[in-house]
């Protein structure tokens, strides 16, 4: 059921898996893609728009349901050895690439051990735990790990580990291979054409191995650079689907009030985007944990959720999104409590030193949010100066640690070892990047807990470690957690079964149909 939507009672709320009627075959889904992707070769390009389109061309060994449990995809089954170091996958038989060549275990070994080790930095960080990959027969692949790596079963979705055809890429310069412009996967849709600045067209894979799928004949991705024009395209019926982030937040309520319009914030569970304020732990008032706690108590995060985000998402309780594994809410709560904030500021002897706050330059919603936080903080006596920047300027200031507070949000990729620890471990403090431990927080205890959690086996042991690290971090407040963001996907209600996994429309058209 859709969570937390308060869209004036005008939106037609939907059930995600409510495909009670038999699917209708055929038809075209008209979808906005924003911005236009830089390319579609998913093994080399990881931008969000690339994943959204190409995730329906390529496939991984596994999919993940909204609770992030693995489901078969190119692998129909898998086993794990008792010591957690050997993973054996049985591949589906009868699978072919879009050019008709058979898909075998040799493609898996090549994709992971050769192609992606070279091209995919995020996956490479996980592959350091892999000692070797072998293919004892055409339909079996064995991953032998150096030691147990708890999140290993979480790295097989299409964006993290896409399968690429060995017969096309072996022995070539991957970056200049002509096939990069006409991607060949095993997925339910095939690449047809790309008219730059206009559209990308995918067509049904008539030889798809899963009987009866896909149902649609085509997916037509519209490239419409202007936000207002994207909204108009939906209003006038030119497009049927606006994926999350396609339109400004303040347009959501108006668009979802239209007839035959449904909306959901499902399909982001794997990414679990979470927002927070970077707090400079190195110097100034923000170096004092009492000041950081005062910020948490001063902010009215429920207001931000209900008013600025149209009721989407959830107030964050700490460093882990509730969507990822090992989340615990058994941590110190920080409700909106201005009096508590004032007490902490008085206790630390805050002298009224002004602090600089960098809004995230991603549109009007984020600007309004920064102004709301500024007002909250000034209500308890903290002086705030908003520092306006463009995207490049924001990147530069955060990377250079030239800030006191700064808005951001990051993906968590389903597991704390894959998407959370990077923000808090001291080994990830490095000037020059806005994507690491920008706050400069350093705790030997937290470092050890995250290191232990990554390699602990079994899940029960991991859970104990990660519960401890959440308690420690919430008490130390290295950053000020805001919301688990809810990005709405807006679509015609006669588009059925669009979102069936934790990555939403990124692989959703396999199951979708139009009534």
Could you tell me which residues come within 8 angstroms of residue 288 by beta carbon, excluding any fewer than 6 positions away? 348
Rounded CA separation 484/365 (Å): 15
What's the mean pLDDT when you consider all of the chain?
A: 92
Under the banding of pLDDT at 50, 70 and 90, the label for residue 246 is confident
pLDDT of residue 285 exceeding 60: yes
Give the model confidence (pLDDT) of 39-55 as tens digits: 999 999 877 889 999 99
pLDDT of residue 1 exceeding 80: no
Under the banding of pLDDT at 50, 70 and 90, the label for residue 433 is confident
Under the banding of pLDDT at 50, 70 and 90, the label for residue 20 is low
pLDDT of residue 10 exceeding 60: no
Q: State residue 370's pLDDT score.
A: 97
Whole-model pTM?
0.84
Instruction: Say if CB 315 and CB 301 are below 8 A apart.
Output: yes
**Rounded to 5 degrees, what are φ and ψ at 73?**
-140, -100
Q: State residue 339's pLDDT score.
A: 98
Rounded CA separation 146/131 (Å): 5
Under the banding of pLDDT at 50, 70 and 90, the label for residue 221 is very high
* Closest to 405 in 3D by CA, of 271, 514, 295, 309: 295
Q: Is the dihedral of CA 497, 500, 505, 507 positive or negative?
A: negative
* Closest to 89 in 3D by CA, of 81, 74, 78: 78
**Rounded to 5 degrees, what are φ and ψ at 276?**
-160, 175
What is the rounded radius of gyration, in angstroms, for the C-alpha atoms of the chain?
23
Question: What percentage of the chain reaches a pLDDT higher than 90?
Answer: 79
Tokens of 424: 């808090």
Give the model confidence (pLDDT) of 138-154 as tens digits: 999 999 999 999 899 99
Rounded CA separation 293/298 (Å): 9
pLDDT of residue 440 exceeding 60: yes
Give the model confidence (pLDDT) of 369-386 as tens digits: 999 999 999 999 999 999
Q: State residue 411's pLDDT score.
A: 87
pLDDT of residue 103 exceeding 90: yes
Q: Is the peptide bond before 106 cis (omega within 30 degrees of 0)?
A: no
**Rounded to 5 degrees, what are φ and ψ at 14?**
-125, 155
Stretch 263-286: mean pLDDT: 94
Range of weakest confidence among 4-18, 209-223, 279-293:
4-18
Tokens of 219: 């997916």
Q: State residue 4's pLDDT score.
A: 34
**What is the torsion angle, in degrees rounded to the nearest 10, for the CA atoms of residue 482, residue 490, residue 241 and residue 206?**
80
Give the model confidence (pLDDT) of 163-203 as tens digits: 999 999 999 999 999 999 999 999 999 999 999 999 999 99
DSSP code, position 236 = T
Q: State residue 18's pLDDT score.
A: 44
DSSP code, position 22 = P
pLDDT of residue 15 exceeding 50: no
Stretch 462-487: mean pLDDT: 96
Q: State residue 395's pLDDT score.
A: 85
């Amino acid at each position: 059921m859709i969570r937390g939507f308060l869209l004036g009672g005008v939106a037609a709320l939907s059930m995600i898996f409510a495909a009670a009627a038999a699917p209708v075959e055929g038809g075209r889904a008209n979808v906005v893609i924003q911005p236009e992707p830089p390319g579609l070769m998913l093994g080399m390009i990881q931008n969000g728009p690339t994943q959204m389109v190409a995730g329906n061309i390529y496939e991984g060994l596994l999919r993940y349901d909204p609770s992030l449990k693995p489901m078969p995809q190119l692998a129909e089954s898998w086993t794990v050895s008792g010591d957690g170091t050997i993973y054996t996958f049985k591949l589906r038989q009868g699978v072919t690439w879009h050019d008709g060549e058979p898909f075998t275990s040799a493609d898996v070994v090549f994709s992971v051990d050769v192609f992606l080790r070279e091209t995919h930095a995020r996956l490479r960080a996980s592959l350091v735990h892999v000692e070797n990959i072998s293919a004892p027969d055409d339909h079996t692949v064995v991953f032998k790990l150096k030691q147990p790596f708890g999140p290993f079963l979480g790295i097989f979705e299409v964006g993290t580990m896409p399968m690429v055809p060995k017969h096309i890429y072996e022995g070539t310069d991957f970056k200049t291979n002509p096939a990069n412009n006409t991607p060949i996967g095993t997925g339910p849709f095939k690449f047809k054409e790309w008219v730059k600045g206009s559209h990308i067209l995918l067509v049904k894979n008539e030889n798809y191995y899963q009987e009866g799928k896909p149902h649609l004949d085509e997916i037509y991705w519209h490239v419409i650079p202007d936000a207002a024009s994207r909204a108009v395209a939906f209003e006038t019926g030119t497009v049927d689907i606006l994926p999350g982030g396609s339109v400004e937040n303040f347009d959501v309520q108006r668009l979802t009030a239209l007839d035959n319009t449904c909306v959901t914030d499902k399909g982001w569970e794997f990414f679990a985007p979470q927002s927070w304020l970077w707090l400079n732990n190195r110097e100034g008032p923000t170096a004092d944990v009492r000041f950081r706690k005062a910020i948490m108590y001063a902010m009215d995060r429920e207001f931000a959720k209900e008013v600025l985000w149209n009721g989407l998402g959830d107030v964050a309780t700490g460093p882990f999104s509730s969507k990822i594994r090992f989340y615990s809410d058994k941590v110190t709560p920080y409700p909106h409590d201005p009096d508590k904030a004032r007490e902490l500021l008085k206790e630390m002897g805050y002298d009224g030193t002004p602090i600089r706050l960098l809004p995230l330059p991603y549109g009007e919603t984020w600007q309004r949010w920064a102004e709301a936080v500024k007002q909250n903080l000034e209500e308890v006596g903290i002086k705030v100066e908003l520092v306006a920047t463009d995207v490049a300027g924001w990147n530069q200031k955060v990377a250079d640690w030239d800030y006191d507070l700064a808005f951001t949000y990051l993906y968590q990729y389903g597991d704390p070892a894959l998407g959370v620890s990077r923000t808090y471990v001291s080994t990830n403090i490095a000037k020059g990047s806005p994507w690491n431990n920008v706050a400069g927080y350093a705790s030997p205890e937290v470092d050890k807990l995250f290191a232990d959690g990554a390699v602990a086996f079994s899940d029960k042991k991991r859970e104990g470690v990660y519960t401890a690290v959440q308690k420690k971090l919430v008490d130390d407040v290295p950053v000020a957690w805001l919301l688990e963001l809810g990005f709405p996907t807006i679509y015609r209600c006669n588009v059925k079964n669009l979102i069936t996994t934790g990555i939403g429309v990124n692989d959703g058209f396999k199951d979708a149909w139009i009534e």
